[in-house]
């Protein structure tokens, strides 16, 4: 019953999306102007219906209704409730439903609250949003109906990939989705602006909160995903340049560039065409990412339900949406008048430079991700890995970081290096000191050396915009910028230290044996069986000590066996200190020699590795502060306007009242 | 109030064709993935790991009466062949006689069976011969991926120190056997 309700809601939502598209487009013509009134309510109801459909799917998963095929395929009655619910979006159909739901709700939200834009532009935006949604509704209803029934009803579900039975991962995909879909709103705004030829500060201000919001979610999603891969996969790395990881990084890079150029457009009315272009590119990257992941066209460590037919469908959507948008851009960009001018040495100049660098990195990541396909088309087989991505990325990241340190101190429009030269002495000295220190230590690669030195300099330079400011009266967006830039320095410091100073050890130890890794002493105390709700495990008890006189602490890495479906995972054990993490993975039992069994242990000491994710969270926090600041000032402006309007009305009333009293 | 800027400043004036560039690139992308999507290609990836030590792994025994496989078993001073196979894989049947010949020639061969069940595996070995000293069960394909392999069958020549010396993608055909023996000899030096 619930499943049928959900399906009905989904069909209705799709129909309303069609109506929203037609009405929104017709309302732009003189003869269809009467339709303008229905577009906003239709968008709101469409969002609500999509939300109902999604709630229905959550409900059938929560109750493990095995007569629904999707539940039978992906869930299991023994699973803890939280993972049953997370299972809703842990599969292709459910995640696509989540996608249209978030898109519908976001569109409804725009329809209800966005009052600043000229009405035609908003109508075009909502029509654009409906157009993109409609493709995904068609995809869901034709090729991947999440509410399909199954007969006969199976006794038990197929379970969920045990790797996915993890809180971090339960919330990692939806976070990224919110980011992807937030970019779809930016995309729709860009379409609206192109169609109505009104690319200007008003458009930028309307788009900015959505870009910021999407960017925050992407930042959090990537940070969480990286940490998840780090502790769950048991490989000790935090970034693998895997196609799926790149698929999430590319929209982030585009969104970061968009975020900065939209600020220039809002504040200075410059970079008009470029901002619109980035709005299209950012969402293209979300869709390309989804396509690469779902079509299975690239080999990845991430096992998704891969299906060439679905791949074709997403590719068709991609070609229609993005190809259409880029054609529109090419046709209209020539008519977008140029914005304000600025000198090369200016805040705008620095932002343009960083935009170009971010785009270059984006191009490199995209090319590296697609290169295996290019090679395959020519008959060769290659895999592209860190040896390509790291140096090529750094080629553009290093100048970008230098400008990132300097840019925020420059003035808008035109400035000179002479004015800010003095403030940069300390950061420059820090960079030099960092270089010297790393060279003195010796044996450190070029990239970690550069990263370490730049992190020190950037860390100092990033807080300089607060100098000479009254901290209590500094606007929140400035705080946001400072914290986000500082977060980049923190993250970079973590990455450099991790790659320069990590110690790795693979040993087979007997019970009671002590082994050393970096500054740690590790003793294998016991190995015992454990049982969980749907798994059994071997758990090692490790007693570890930092240095010669440290406190002894116990950590327990596990080797888990799930039985539905049967699969083994290793649960790494982490011990965090202020200066890094000890990372332990229990392998299997090695050969028994002389009666005493030996256990394989993989140990890492990773100095300052946690700073990578701490920095990521700081970057996101900076985004949150900026968003709160922007939204608060928008609200203040709206209230102020209402107040003025109210006063005017009152004055008019009083005036007319006085007139009336006159005899 | 505002002094005029030099006329050419801050005007990255894009040529007309540049406006069409994103669309052209995008069309290129679509064409590329169309080729990738519709061309029947086996999606194996050449290992970037040749010349590198094997990633550490431990696999449980695929059959109850035969030991499983760990990295340490292979890096024991002698060159080994590591064969990634599965009972459900047709080319694996094709290469079985060649593996048998190599085993009779005294080459230590260990197997990694991918996503397989004990019965199927037993049937496969009965039917096609059994050259394996050890068989590890890689039920989720994790070790397979860690080795940089994405298909079955694949065969690795590993030297005595556990360094990957050669990766053979696809089945070993009779004409490959001398070449494999040569690689093993090189690895033994």
Please write the tens of the pLDDT for every residue from B3-47: 444 444 444 455 677 788 888 989 988 888 887 776 654 444 445
Return the DSSP state at A596.
B
Helix (H, G, I), strand (E, B), or coil: what is residue A307? coil
Instruction: Tell me whether residue B38 is in a domain.
Output: no
Chain-chain contact of A376 with B36 (C-beta, under 8 angstroms) = yes
Residue range(s) defining the domain that contains residue B147? 58-188
Give the model's pLDDT for residue A566: 56
What are A522's strand-pairing partners?
A515, A544
> Shortest Cα distance from B185 to chain A (angstroms)?
26
Chain-chain contact of B139 with A348 (C-beta, under 8 angstroms) = no
Return the DSSP state at A542.
E
For residue B44, the chain A residues in CB contact (below 8 A) are 381
Chain-chain contact of B32 with A370 (C-beta, under 8 angstroms) = yes
- Residue, of A372 and B125, whose pLDDT is higher: B125
What are A509's strand-pairing partners?
A599
- Residue, of A530 and A280, whose pLDDT is higher: A280
User: Which of A338, A342, A508 is opposite residue B72, by nearest beta carbon?
Assistant: A508
Instruction: Tell me whether residue B130 is in a domain.
Output: yes
Closest CA to A406 of A362, A444, A461, A459: A461
Give the model's pLDDT for residue A482: 94
The domains located in chain A, with CATH, are: 1-165 (no CATH), 203-216+230-417 (no CATH), 418-496 (no CATH), 503-608 (2.60.98)
What are A182's strand-pairing partners?
none
Decide the pairing of beta strands A503-510 and A598-607. antiparallel
Closest CA to B60 of A523, A304, A585, A600: A600
Instruction: Tell me whether residue B125 is in a domain.
Output: yes
Residue of A277, A314, A319 best to disrupt the B interface, most CBs of B under 10 A: A319
Give CA angle at A341 (A337, A344), nearest 5°.
135
Residue A293 has pLDDT above 50, yes or no: yes
Give the model's pLDDT for residue A567: 61
CA nearest to B20 within chain A: A330
| Percentage, residues of chain A above pLDDT 70 | 91
DSSP string covering A108-170, please? HHHHHH--SS-HHHHHHHHHHHHHHHHHHHHIIIII--TT-B-SSPPSS-----GGG-SHHHH
CATH of the domain at B103: 3.40.30.10
Angle formed by the axes of helices A243-268 and A201-232, nearest 10°: 150
Q: Residue A234 half-sphere exposure, CB side, CA atoms within 13 Å? A: 25
Residue of A302, A333, A379, A380 best to disrupt the B interface, most CBs of B under 10 A: A333
Q: Which two tokens stand for residue A545?
A: 């000590």
Do residues A599 and A589 make contact, with C-beta atoms less than 8 angstroms apart?
yes
Q: How far, in Å, CA of B168 to CA of B177, rounded?
A: 11
Instruction: Tell me whether residue B37 is in a domain.
Output: no
Give the model's pLDDT for residue A588: 66
**Confidence class of residue A379 from pLDDT cuts 50, 70 and 90?**
low
Give the model's pLDDT for residue B6: 45
User: Which of B34, B36, B148 is opposite residue A383, by nearest beta carbon?
Assistant: B148
Residue A301 has pLDDT above 50, yes or no: no
> Shortest Cα distance from B125 to chain A (angstroms)?
23
Please tell me whether the peptide bond between A352 and the residue prior to it is cis, using omega within 30 degrees of 0: no
Q: How far, in Å, CA of A544 to CA of A524, rounded?
A: 9
Backbone angles phi, psi at A507, to 5 degrees: -135, 155
Q: Which two tokens stand for residue B3?
A: 């002094």
Q: Which helix (H) or strand (E) holds A472?
A: none
Residue A119 has pLDDT above 90, yes or no: no
- Structurally, chain B folds into a number of domains equal to 1
Instruction: Tell me whether residue B2 is in a domain.
Output: no
Give, in order, the Cα–Cα distances in Å from A344 to each of A380, A625, B102: 44, 29, 69
Chain-chain contact of B10 with A372 (C-beta, under 8 angstroms) = no
Backbone angles phi, psi at A158, to 5 degrees: -85, 0
Q: Which two tokens stand for residue A21?
A: 């598209």
Of A249-263, A407-421, A480-494, give the lowest mean pLDDT range. A407-421
Segment A584-593 shows an average pLDDT of 69
Instruction: Tell me whether residue B52 is in a domain.
Output: no
């Amino acid at each position: 019953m619930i499943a049928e309700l959900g399906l009905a809601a989904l069909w209705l939502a799709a129909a309303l999306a069609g109506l929203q598209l037609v009405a929104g487009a017709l309302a732009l013509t003189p003869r269809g102007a009467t339709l303008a009134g229905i577009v906003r309510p239709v968008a709101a109801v469409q969002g609500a219906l999509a939300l109902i459909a999604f709630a229905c799917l959550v409900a059938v998963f929560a109750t493990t209704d095995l007569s629904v095929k999707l539940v039978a395929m992906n869930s299991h009655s023994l699973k803890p409730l939280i993972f049953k619910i997370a299972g809703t979006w842990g599969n292709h159909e459910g995640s696509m439903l989540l996608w249209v739901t978030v898109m519908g709700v976001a569109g409804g939200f725009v329809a209800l609250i966005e009052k600043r834009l000229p009405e035609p532009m908003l109508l075009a935006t909502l029509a654009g949003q409906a157009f993109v949604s409609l493709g995904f509704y068609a995809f869901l209803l034709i090729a991947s109906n999440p509410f399909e029934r199954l007969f006969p009803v199976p006794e038990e579900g197929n379970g969920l990939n045990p790797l996915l039975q993890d809180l971090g991962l339960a919330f990692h995909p939806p976070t990224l989705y919110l980011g992807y879909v937030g970019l779809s709103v930016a995309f729709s705004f860009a379409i609206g602006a192109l169609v109505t030829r009104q690319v200007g500060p008003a458009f930028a201000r309307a788009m900015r909160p959505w870009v910021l919001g999407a960017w925050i979610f992407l930042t959090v999603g990537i940070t969480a995903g990286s940490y998840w891969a780090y502790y769950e996969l048991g490989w000790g790395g935090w970034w693998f340049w895997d196609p799926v990881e790149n698929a999430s990084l590319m929209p982030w890079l585009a969104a970061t560039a968009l975020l900065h150029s939209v600020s220039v457009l809002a504040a200075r009315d410059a970079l008009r065409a470029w901002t619109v272009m980035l709005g299209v590119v950012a969402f293209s990257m979300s869709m390309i990412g989804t396509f690469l992941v779902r079509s299975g066209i690239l080999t990845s460590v991430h096992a998704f339900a891969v299906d060439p037919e679905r791949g074709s469908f997403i590719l068709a959507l991609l070609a229609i949406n993005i190809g259409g948008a880029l054609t529109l851009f090419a046709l209209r960009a020539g008519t977008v008048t140029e914005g304000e001018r600025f000198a090369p040495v200016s805040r705008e100049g620095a932002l343009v430079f960083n935009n170009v660098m971010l785009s270059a990195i984006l191009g490199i990541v995209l090319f590296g991700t697609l290169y295996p396909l290019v090679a395959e088309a020519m008959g060769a087989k290659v895999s592209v890995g860190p040896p390509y991505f790291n140096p090529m990325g750094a080629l553009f990241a290093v100048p970008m970081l230098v400008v990132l340190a300097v840019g925020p101190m420059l003035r808008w429009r035109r400035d000179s290096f002479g004015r800010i030269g003095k403030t940069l002495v300390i950061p420059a000295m820090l960079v030099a000191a960092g270089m010297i220190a790393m060279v003195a230590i010796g044996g450190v690669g070029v990239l970690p050396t550069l990263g370490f030195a730049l992190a020190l300099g950037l860390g100092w330079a990033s807080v300089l915009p607060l100098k000479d400011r009254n901290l209590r009266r500094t606007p929140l967006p400035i705080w946001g910028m400072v914290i986000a830039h500082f977060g980049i320095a923190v993250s970079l410091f973590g990455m450099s230290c991790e790659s320069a100073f990590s110690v790795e050890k693979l040993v087979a130890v007997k019970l009671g044996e002590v082994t050393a890794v970096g500054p740690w002493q590790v003793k294998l105390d016991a190995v015992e069986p454990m049982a969980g709700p749907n798994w059994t495990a071997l758990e090692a008890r490790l007693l570890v000590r930092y240095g010669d006189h440290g406190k002894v602490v116990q950590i327990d890495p596990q080797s888990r066996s799930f039985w539905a479906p049967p699969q083994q995972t290793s649960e790494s054990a982490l011990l965090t200190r202020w200066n890094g993490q000890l990372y332990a993975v229990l392998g299997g039992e090695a050969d028994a020699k002389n009666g005493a069994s030996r256990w394989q242990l993989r140990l890492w000491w990773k100095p300052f590795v946690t700073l990578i994710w701490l920095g990521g969270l700081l970057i996101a926090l900076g985004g949150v502060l900026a968003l709160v600041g922007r939204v608060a000032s928008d609200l203040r402006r709206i209230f102020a306007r209402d107040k003025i309007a109210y006063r005017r009305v009152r004055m008019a009333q009083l005036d007319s009242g006085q007139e009336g009293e006159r005899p | 109030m505002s002094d005029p800027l030099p006329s050419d400043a801050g005007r990255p004036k894009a040529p007309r064709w540049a406006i069409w560039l994103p669309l052209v690139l995008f069309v290129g992308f679509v064409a590329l993935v169309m080729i990738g999507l519709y061309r029947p290609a086996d999606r194996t990836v050449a290992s970037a790991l040749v010349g590198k030590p094997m990633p550490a792994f431990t696999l449980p025994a695929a059959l109850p009466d035969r030991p499983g496989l760990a990295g340490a078993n292979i890096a024991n001073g002698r060159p080994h062949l590591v064969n990634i196979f599965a009972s459900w894989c047709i080319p694996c049947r094709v290469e079985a006689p060649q593996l048998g010949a190599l085993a009779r020639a005294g080459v230590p061969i260990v197997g990694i069976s991918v996503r397989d069940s004990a019965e199927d595996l037993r049937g496969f070995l009965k039917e096609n011969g059994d050259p394996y000293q050890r068989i590890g069960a890689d039920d989720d394909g994790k070790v397979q991926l860690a080795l940089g392999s994405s298909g079955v069958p694949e065969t690795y020549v590993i030297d005595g120190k556990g360094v990957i010396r050669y990766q053979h993608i696809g089945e070993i055909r009779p004409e490959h056997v001398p070449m494999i023996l040569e690689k093993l000899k090189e690895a033994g030096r």
